[in-house]
Each structure stands twice: as C-alpha cells, then as structure tokens.
Amino acid sequence: MEAMQIVGLVDSLELLEAIKSVRNQVFVQEQEIDSTLEFDANDIQFKEGLENSSTTSLLNKLRYYYIKFNGDDGEVCGTCRARKTTDSTWKIERVATLKNHRGKGLGQSLISFVIDDLSKLDDSSNSEETTFYIHAQLSAYPFWSRGNFNNGKFIKVGEDFEEASIPHCKMIYHPNK
C-alpha cells in the first residue's frame, strides 16, 4: 500500500526553514553545492515577504514554494520552487527529495501537483497555454524523461550546460493531448 502524501504551499517561516533543511541536505551536503549558490535572492525575498506578513508581495504570482510531507509520519520529505519567467512560462527548480524517501514516487507526485496547481492559476488569468521547463541535472535525466507528470512528460531541448559545476540540460514539459 502506498503511503499517503501531502503537498502544500509554503506560507510560514517554519515551513520555509523546513524546506531549506531539505535543500541543505540534498544540495549542500550530498552534492556539495556552495550554500551561497543554493540559497539565492529569490529565497531572501520570499523570506522577507513572510516576515512582513505581506501575502500580496509574498505570492505575487511570480514565485511559489512547495513542500511535501510523508502522510504516515508527517515528516517533510521533499520540496521545489516555481518561478514565473514570462506571462505563461514557469521554471520549476530546486526540486529535492530526502535520500530515504527517493524511489517511492514522491518527486513525481510533487511535480504533478505543481503543474496542476500552476496551470489552474494561469488558466484564470491568461489565454496562453502554460509552459513549464526545468534545468535538470544530467544524473536526474532518467527521472524527468520517463516520468508521467500530470499526463505529460519533460523532453530535452538544446545542448548540455553546467550550473554550479554540475552538468545540466534544459527540458520542457509537453502535456499528452
């Protein structure tokens, strides 16, 4: 039986610290990415919005943080961030699942939730079809290319490149129609 999983928007300093802990474990400790690269201006601005209790500036439709809980024990097990890069385009980034929760479908269900959630937001305010893209680490390419995310998948475009000294590729989400 598959464990119940809960996904939500980060809307408090407590939840922000929880996802920062996940990202620290995955990116800074496991992958040895410099913390000054991992935690950027987007994180600072988001935290400032939470501290000021300014929901309007916090969720100004440009940046959303998601948190994933294991429903069995309530442990935070994953996270991602989505940033709006054009009127109808979102970049999904900082996708992280704790090591002991990998291989259980948590990442796939998190990304499916995010795609569905952001598509609904854009449907109400935009006539263009919502587009999603990622800069995937090449080591995670199999996850992104084989996944069935909300009835669609990510397809590689362009040449490989490096971010934070790690090989990446750009992938664009294509819904199954």
Structure confidence by residue, pLDDT tens digits, 136-146: 999 999 999 88
Per-residue pLDDT, averaged over 53-57, amounts to 56
* Residue numbers of the domain that contains 88: 5-175
Structure confidence by residue, pLDDT tens digits, 78-90: 999 999 998 889 9
Give exposure, 15-48, as e/b (b: 16+ Cβ within 10 Å).
bbebbbebbbebbbeeeebeeeebbeeebeebbe
Q: Count of domains in the chain?
A: 1
Which CATH number characterizes residue 26's domain? 3.40.630.30
| pLDDT value, residue 1 | 37
| pLDDT value, residue 126 | 56
Per-residue pLDDT, averaged over 67-93, amounts to 90
Collapsed DSSP state (helix, strand, coil) of residue 84: strand
DSSP 8-state symbol, 60: S
Question: What is the Cα–Cα distance from 161 to 158, expressed in whole angstroms?
Answer: 9
- pTM for the structure as a whole: 0.88
